[in-house]
Structure 1
Amino acid sequence: MNFFEKITGSDMTKAIKSFEARAKALPAEYQTAWNEIKSNLWVYGDFTGRNLIPILENALELLEVASADKQSIEEVLGDDIKGFCAALVGDEGAKTYRDKWREQLNRNVARKLGGLK
Structure 2
Amino acid sequence: MNFWETITGSDLSREYKAFEARAEALPTDYRAAWDEIKTQLAPYSDFTGRNLMPILDGALGLLEETAAEGQSIYQVVGDDIVGFSAALAGGEGARNYRDKWREQLNRNVAKKLARLGD
> Is the TM value for this pair above 0.5?
yes
Give me the CA root mean square deviation. 1.7
Segments of 5+ residues of structure 1 without an aligned counterpart are none
- 1:46 corresponds to: 46
1:84 is aligned with what amino acid?
F
TM superposition score normalised by structure 2: 0.88
Summarize deviations over 1:58-105 as a string: whole Å, max 9, x none: 100100011101111110001111111111121211111101212333
Summarize deviations over 1:95-117 as a string: whole Å, max 9, x none: 1110121233345456667848x
Relative to structure 1, is the Cα distance of residues 107 and 4 closer, same or farther in structure 2, using a 3 angstrom cutoff?
closer
CA distance in 2, matches of 1:12, 1:111: 36
CA distance in 2, matches of 1:91, 1:60: 18
Is 1:80 paired with 2:80?
A: yes
Is 1:26 paired with 2:26?
A: yes
- 1:90 corresponds to: 90
Percent of pairs with identical residues? 65
TM superposition score normalised by structure 1: 0.89
Q: Stretches of 4+ moved more than 2 A in 1?
A: 102-116
Aligned residues between the structures: 116
Is 1:11 paired with 2:11?
A: yes
CA distance in 1, matches of 2:91, 2:27: 30
Is 1:63 paired with 2:33?
A: no
Segments of 5+ residues of structure 2 without an aligned counterpart are none
CA distance in 2, matches of 1:54, 1:103: 25
CA distance in 2, matches of 1:81, 1:93: 16
Summarize deviations over 1:10-57 as a string: whole Å, max 9, x none: 110000000001101111100000000101111111111001111101
